Amino acid sequence: DAKTTQPTSMDCAEGRAANLPCNHSTISGNEYVYWYRQIHSQGPQYIIHGLKNNETNEMASLIITEDRKSSTLILPHATLRDTAVYYCIVRVAVASGSRLTFGEGTQLTVNP
Amino acid sequence: KAGVTQTPRYLIKTRGQQVTLSCSPISGHRSVSWYQQTPGQGLQFLFEYFSETQRNKGNFPGRFSGRQFSNSRSEMNVSTLELGDSALYLCASSLALSGGEKLFFGSGTQLSVL
């Protein structure tokens, strides 16, 4: 699976959009970009994933650049409950495994 | 629909003992995977079970083992516990579909080895 690079930490004001970048310059054509987050002392929570096109769901939007070498997770209106570590993961979607390789992630702190 | 359930939530053991952790996946999910999380190493994949068969294994010693039952429930066992085994052990379940797979994690079992 391709390696990802994320900033160690970010701050965001409550109510504003939080934009979390991820670099995955060695991504292959058959690798998906996944985002998970982990609130302190809880298990990681799935947010969103995509292959080529931008994706949106009730939690967030995922913007993937045309060359697929980087992506941005957007939380449109951040709340205090969005404070968490956000992990960007790139992996091949295969039927024979659900192994995820977590990096260190980005600690997002949403401030009142 | 109930989420992934892990028991116990907290556990304290001493060096040399063995421990068994339990995981009940979301109903209908056939894949169960286990992860270890420590402050120093972060989240690391232990193994995955699908239809009672281990189909992926991480880089952990043989003291770490697991199994899956016919109802998809899973257990992991750690024998001869070491201080370094103190960690949050997380279980995740999924439908095991190709083309983009979501993992659903439990809240974990916090194991302390004294």
Q: What is the pLDDT of residue B38?
A: 94
pLDDT in tens, A77-110: 999 999 999 999 987 655 456 678 888 999 999 9
User: A49: closest CA among A34, A64, A30?
Assistant: A34
Chain A residues close to B99, C-beta within 8 Å: 93
Q: Which residues contact B35 (CB under 8 A, 6 or more apart)?
A: A100, A102, B43, B44, B45, B46, B89, B90, B91, B92, B105
Pick A95's closest partner by Cβ from B42, B98, B102: B98
pLDDT in tens, A14-44: 999 999 999 999 888 888 899 999 998 899 9
Q: What is the pLDDT of residue A31?
A: 85
Q: Is the pLDDT of residue A5 over 70?
A: yes
What tokens were used for A87? 């992990």
| Residues A45/A37, Cβ–Cβ less than 8 Å | yes
Q: What is the pLDDT of residue A66?
A: 94
* B94, B103, B107, B110, best to mutate vs chain A, most A CBs in 10 Å: B103
Q: Is the pLDDT of residue A1 over 80?
A: no
Q: How confident is the model at residue B53 (pLDDT cuts 50, 70, 90)?
A: very high
Q: What is the pLDDT of residue A2?
A: 66
From the number of C-beta atoms within 10 Å of its C-beta (0-12, 13-18, 19+), residue B21 rates as: buried
Q: What is the pLDDT of residue B6?
A: 97
Nearest CA in chain A to B56: A97
Chain A residues close to B58, C-beta within 8 Å: 99
What is the nearest CA distance from B16 to chain A, expressed in angstroms?
26
Q: How confident is the model at residue B55 (pLDDT cuts 50, 70, 90)?
A: confident
Q: Is the pLDDT of residue B98 over 80?
A: no
Q: Is the pLDDT of residue B111 over 70?
A: yes
What tokens were used for A64? 């993937």
What is the nearest CA distance from B100 to chain A, expressed in angstroms?
5
Q: What is the pLDDT of residue B71?
A: 93
